[in-house]
Amino acid sequence: MLAAQTIETGYKSVVVAGGMESMSNAPFLIPRTNPAYGKFTALDSLENDALWDVYNKFAMGLCGESAAEKHGITREAQDAHAIESYKRAERAWKAGQFKEEIAPVTIKGKKGDTIVAEDEEYKRVIYEKVPTLNPSFKKNGGTITPANSSSLNDGASALILMSAEKARELGIKPLAKVISYADAGVDPVDFPEAPTFALPTALERAGLKVDDIAQFEINEAFSVVVRIAEKKLGIDPAKINPHGGAVALGHAVGNSGSRIIVTLIHSLKSGEYGAAGICNGGTYPQKRDLDEKAGFDAVGTVSESVVESADGDEALRLVGKERTAQFSEEYNKKLRRKLDLIIPPLCAAVYFTQFLDKTSLNYASIMGFPITGQRYNLVSLAFYLGFLVWEFPTVYISQKLRVAKYLGANIIVWGIILMCHAATSSFGVFFALRFLLAPILILIISMFYKKDEQATRISWFYVMNGMTVFGGFVAYGISFDDGHLIAPYKIIYILLGGLAILVGICVVLWLPDSPVHARVLTKEERVAALERVRDDQGGTENKKIKKDQVIEALTDIRTWLIALTTIPNGGLSNFSNLIIKSFGYTSKQTLILSTPGGVVASMTTLLCAWYSDRK
C-alpha cells in the first residue's frame, strides 16, 4: 500500500515492494538485563518479535482464541477449514497452479545441489490427526491448534509497481491496477477480524460490492480469520483461497503480504476483480483494492486487493455484478432447452444455405450451364480465391463488429450476388461474381454451450452439409422445365439466392451476438448463460487482437490438419456431378444419384458428435 501511495503522489514512478522471512533462522536473544553472573534467560525472537501482542503481552494465538469465542467459531469449523485448505493446496500443486509464481531455489550441499521448487507443508498433513491435536494457546477449552493455524516457514516474494505513464513509456503491459485502498484500525486483540472492517471501505471507494469480487486471498494466520470474514461479510467460502492458504502453504510473516497478491493475480481470469488481505497482529489493519494484473504487498494488519483484467471481455463485465448468483441444474436445463430452440436452428439454416449455395455451380454444370472446360475450372477456382483474399480481413472485421449482425449482412449480400448469377452467361462477369462470394460463418455455439455440449450442437448445422441433398431434388424437379422463359441453371441461382437473403434477414433479427447481447434472454438468463460456460475459459466477445493467440493458432498442428481436410471438399463440391455423369448417366439421373452421399454424411456427423460429447 505504501508503494501505491508513493506512486500515486508522484514521488516515484517505479517501486519494488516485497518481503522475506526466515523463521527457521530466527535467533534467540539474551536481554541486557540478565545478571552478570549465574543463570540467564534467553528470548525466542520468533515469538518475541513476530508473534507477540506487545499491547496485551501475550501470544497472538490468544487473540485468535478471543476472536473465535466472540464470533462463535467452533473448533470443528476451524478444523474443517484447515483440512480444506490443505486439500486445495494439494490440488493446486498437482495442477501446476503455482508454477508461474515460483522461482526455484538451489541449495548447495556436499552430496550435490538440491532444488526447492514447491512448498512441502501440504505433504506432511495427516488428516485423521487434525481433530485430535491439543490446543496451542489456551489449554482448557481452546480451539486453535497447530493444524488450524498457519505453519512457520521461510519465504520471499516481491512485486514491481509502476505508474501507468511509466508503463506506457517502457511498453510494458501491466497485470493489474490499483483502484482503491483503505485503513481500518481495531483493538489489537481483535486483529483477526480487521479485514472485515477495512474491506467494505475500500470496496465502497472502488464502487464495488463483496459480490463483485471473484476471488479473495485472505492470509490464514489462523483459520478463524477466514471463518469470521465468511460470517460477517457473507463471502462464499469457495471464493476464499481457492488454492489453499497460509494454513497449508505457510506464513513467512514478512513475505506473506506480497505472496498472497502474487497468488491472486496468477489465479484470476481475465476481467475479474479480486481481493487480497493479510492479518498482522500488534498494530492496526490496512486494506487495498487492485484493478487487474499488477501486484501489491500488504503492509500491516490487513491488506485487500481487487483485480480486473485489461483484456477482459464484455461477458465478465456483466457477470462481475452477478458473480455469486447460483442457478440450479433444473434452471440450467430449462435455459439450455430455450437456447436449443434459437441458436442451433439459426446456425443450421446459415450452414445449410451457405453449403447449398456453394454447390449451386455443381448443379448448374449439368443443367445447361454455358461455361465449360477450362473456363469452368477457372470459375470454380474464383470462389476459393475470393474466400482466400477476404477470409483474414473479414475475421478481423467480425471481431470489431457485432458478430451476428455482420454475419447476417454477409449472408444477405451473398444472396444478392448469387441471384445476380442468373443475369449473365459471360465468363468474365461470372468469374467476378464467384470471386465476391466470400462471407464468414462464425460459430457462436461456444459462447452459449459448455464444451461437453458443443459437439452435438455443432453437428446440428454440420449435418446440413449432408442435408443439402435437398438441392439435388430441387434441381431434379427444375430439370424438367423446358427452359423457354429462363434457363434451368438460372432458376437454381434465383431460388438459392432468395433463400440466402431470407436466412440472412432472420440472422440479423434473431441470432444473438453473444449471451451479453441476447435480447431473447432476460438479464438473469444472460448471466446464467455466461456462468454455464465460465469454466471453459473461452470468453465471448473481445475486441482486441492478441498476437500470442494468433501465433499459437498458426503453430498448432491441428489448425493445419483441419485445413488439409477441406481440400478434397472443394473438388467434390464443384465436380462430383460431372464425375457421376461421366459414367454414362443422364443429367436427371446424376442429380438423384448425388443424394445418397449426403444422407450418409449426415448420419456419420451425428454419430461422431454423439460419441465426442460422451468422451
The mean predicted confidence, pLDDT, of the chain is: 77
Q: Can you give the pLDDT at residue 76?
A: 96
For residue 299, pLDDT over 50 is answered with no
3-state helix, strand, coil in the chain (%, to 5): 55, 10, 35
Model-level pTM? 0.50
* 563 or 239, which is more confident: 239
For residue 291, pLDDT over 80 is answered with no
**Model confidence over 498-547: pLDDT tens digits?**
888 898 898 888 888 777 777 778 877 877 777 776 655 444 455 556 67
| 65-79, 122-136, 281-295, 453-467: the lowest-pLDDT one | 281-295
Q: Can you give the pLDDT at residue 434?
A: 53
CA distance 335 to 325: 15
**Model confidence over 366-420: pLDDT tens digits?**
677 777 777 777 777 776 676 677 667 766 776 677 777 877 787 788 788 778 8
Please report which confidence band the pLDDT of residue 14 belongs to, taking 50, 70 and 90 as the band edges.
Answer: very high
For residue 11, pLDDT over 50 is answered with yes
Please report which confidence band the pLDDT of residue 615 belongs to, taking 50, 70 and 90 as the band edges.
Answer: low
Residue 493's nearest CA partner among 408, 407, 581, 433 is: 433
Q: Can you give the pLDDT at residue 24?
A: 85
Q: Which domains does the chain have, with CATH numbers?
A: 2-28+43-312 (3.40.47.10), 343-511+546-614 (1.20.1250.20)
For residue 28, pLDDT over 60 is answered with yes
Q: Are 288 and 180 a contacting pair, CB within 8 Å? A: yes
Q: Can you give the pLDDT at residue 136?
A: 92
54-61 LR contacts (CB < 8 Å, sep 24+): 54/282, 55/188, 55/189, 55/282, 56/188, 56/189, 59/137, 60/191, 60/221, 60/281, 60/282, 61/136, 61/137, 61/138, 61/144, 61/149, 61/222
Q: Can you give the pLDDT at residue 247?
A: 92
Q: Can you give the pLDDT at residue 398?
A: 66
Q: How far is CA 148 from CA 154, 155, 209, 287, 608, in A?
A: 19, 20, 29, 24, 50
Please report which confidence band the pLDDT of residue 451 belongs to, taking 50, 70 and 90 as the band edges.
Answer: low
Q: How many CB atoms lie within 10 A of CB 265?
A: 24
Q: Which range scores top for mean pLDDT: 26-30, 329-333, 596-600? A: 26-30
* 277 or 262, which is more confident: 262
Q: Can you give the pLDDT at residue 566?
A: 72
Q: Can you give the pLDDT at residue 225?
A: 94
